[in-house]
Amino acid sequence: KEQTPLQNRLERLGKQLVVLCILICGVVAFLGVLRGEKAYDMFLFGVSLAVAAIPEGLPAIVTIVLTIGVQRMVKKHVIIRKLPAVETLGCATVICSDKTGTLTENRMSVRKIHVNNRNITVTGIGYRPEGDLISDDGEILTQTSPELKRLLEIGVSCNNANLYQAKTGILKALSGKQELKVSGDPTENAVLMAAYKAKVYKDDIDIKYQRLKEFTFDSDRKRMSVIVKTARGEIFLFTKGAPDVVISLCNKIEQDGRIREFTKKDENQITQAIEDMGKQALRVLAFAYKKMPVTELNDKDPENNLIFVGLMGMLDPPRAEVKDAITKCFSSGIRPVMITGDHKATAWAVAKELNMLTEGAFMLTGKQLDEMSETEFLNCVDNVAVYARVTPRHKLKIVKALKKKGHVVAMTGDGVNDAPAVKEADIGVSMGITGTDVTKEASAMILTDDNFASIVAAIEEGRIVYDNIRKFIRYLLSCNVGEILTMVWASLLGLPIPLLPIQILLMNLVTDGLPAMALGIDPPERDVMQKKPRGKNESIFSGGLGIKIIYRGIFISIATLISFILGYMYMKDLQIARTCAFSTLVAAQLIFVFECRSEKHGTWEQNPFSNIYLTLSVIISGAMFAAVIYVPFLQLIFHTTPLDGKMLAMIIALAGLSAVI
**552-570 tens-digit pLDDT:** 999 999 999 999 999 888 8
Q: What is the per-residue pLDDT for 178?
A: 65
CB contact at 8 A, 504 and 479: no
Q: What is the per-residue pLDDT for 1?
A: 46
Among the candidates 281, 315, 349, a domain finishes at 315
CB contact at 8 A, 559 and 483: no
Residue 534 is assigned to a structural domain of this protein: yes
What would the pLDDT profile of 178-208 be if each residue is shown by its tens digit? 678 888 889 999 999 999 999 999 999 999 9
| Percent of the chain's residues with pLDDT above 70 | 96
Q: Are residues 437 and 404 in the same domain?
A: yes
Q: What is the per-residue pLDDT for 4?
A: 65
98 in active site: yes
Q: Are residues 626 and 645 in the same domain?
A: yes
Q: What CA–CA distances, in Å, run from 10 to 59, 62, 174, 516?
A: 7, 9, 67, 16
Residue 466 is assigned to a structural domain of this protein: yes
> Which regions in the chain score pLDDT beneath 50?
1, 170-174
Rounded Cα gap, residues 387 and 351, in angstroms: 10
Q: What is the per-residue pLDDT for 166?
A: 64
Q: Which of 98, 266, 414, 426 is catalytic?
A: 98
Residue 208 is assigned to a structural domain of this protein: yes
Helix (H) or strand (E) holding 250: strand 250-255
Residue 168 is assigned to a structural domain of this protein: yes
Among the candidates 315, 332, 351, a domain finishes at 315
Residue 365 is assigned to a structural domain of this protein: yes
CB contact at 8 A, 63 and 519: no
Q: What CA–CA distances, in Å, run from 48 to 28, 252, 541?
A: 12, 91, 27
- Helix ranges (H only) for 372-451 are 374-380, 392-404, 419-424, 437-442
Q: What is the per-residue pLDDT for 542?
A: 86
Q: Are residues 511 and 646 in the same domain?
A: yes
Q: Are residues 359 and 235 in the same domain?
A: no
What CATH code is carried by the domain that includes residue 382? 3.40.50.1000
Rounded Cα gap, residues 434 and 431, in angstroms: 6
Query: How many structural domains comprise the chain?
Result: 3
- What Rg do the C-alpha atoms of the chain give, in angstroms? 35
Contacts of 12 (CB under 8 A, 6+ apart): none
Q: Are residues 473 and 437 in the same domain?
A: no
> Residue 248 phi/psi, 5° resolution?
-65, -15
Single out the residue of 470, 463, 464, 460 nearest to residue 596, CA to CA.
470
Q: What is the per-residue pLDDT for 661?
A: 65
Helix 5-34, helix 39-53: angle, nearest 10: 160
Residue 389 is assigned to a structural domain of this protein: yes
Could you tell me the pTM of the whole model?
0.84
Q: Are residues 184 and 306 in the same domain?
A: yes
Q: Are residues 572 and 607 in the same domain?
A: yes
Tell me how far the alpha carbon of residue 179 is from its chain's centroid: 34
Q: What is the per-residue pLDDT for 249?
A: 95
Q: What is the per-residue pLDDT for 3?
A: 61
Residue 10 is assigned to a structural domain of this protein: no
Q: Are residues 532 and 547 in the same domain?
A: yes
Among the candidates 284, 315, 346, a domain finishes at 315
Q: What is the per-residue pLDDT for 660?
A: 66
Q: What is the per-residue pLDDT for 169?
A: 53
Rounded Cα gap, residues 207 and 219, in angstroms: 30
Q: Are residues 248 and 291 in the same domain?
A: yes
Q: Which domain holds residue 633?
A: 61-77+457-660
List residues bridging with 365 in a β-sheet: 388
Q: Are residues 371 and 268 in the same domain?
A: no
Q: What is the per-residue pLDDT for 411?
A: 95
What would the pLDDT profile of 454-484 be if each residue is shown by its tens digit? 999 999 999 999 899 889 889 988 988 888 8
250-255 and 210-215 beta bridge pairing = unpaired
Q: Are residues 561 and 600 in the same domain?
A: yes
Q: What is the per-residue pLDDT for 30?
A: 82
What CATH code is carried by the domain that includes residue 505? 1.20.1110.10
Residue 141 is assigned to a structural domain of this protein: yes
Q: Are residues 308 and 339 in the same domain?
A: no
What CATH code is carried by the domain that includes residue 300? 3.40.1110.10
| Percent of the chain's residues with pLDDT above 90 | 55
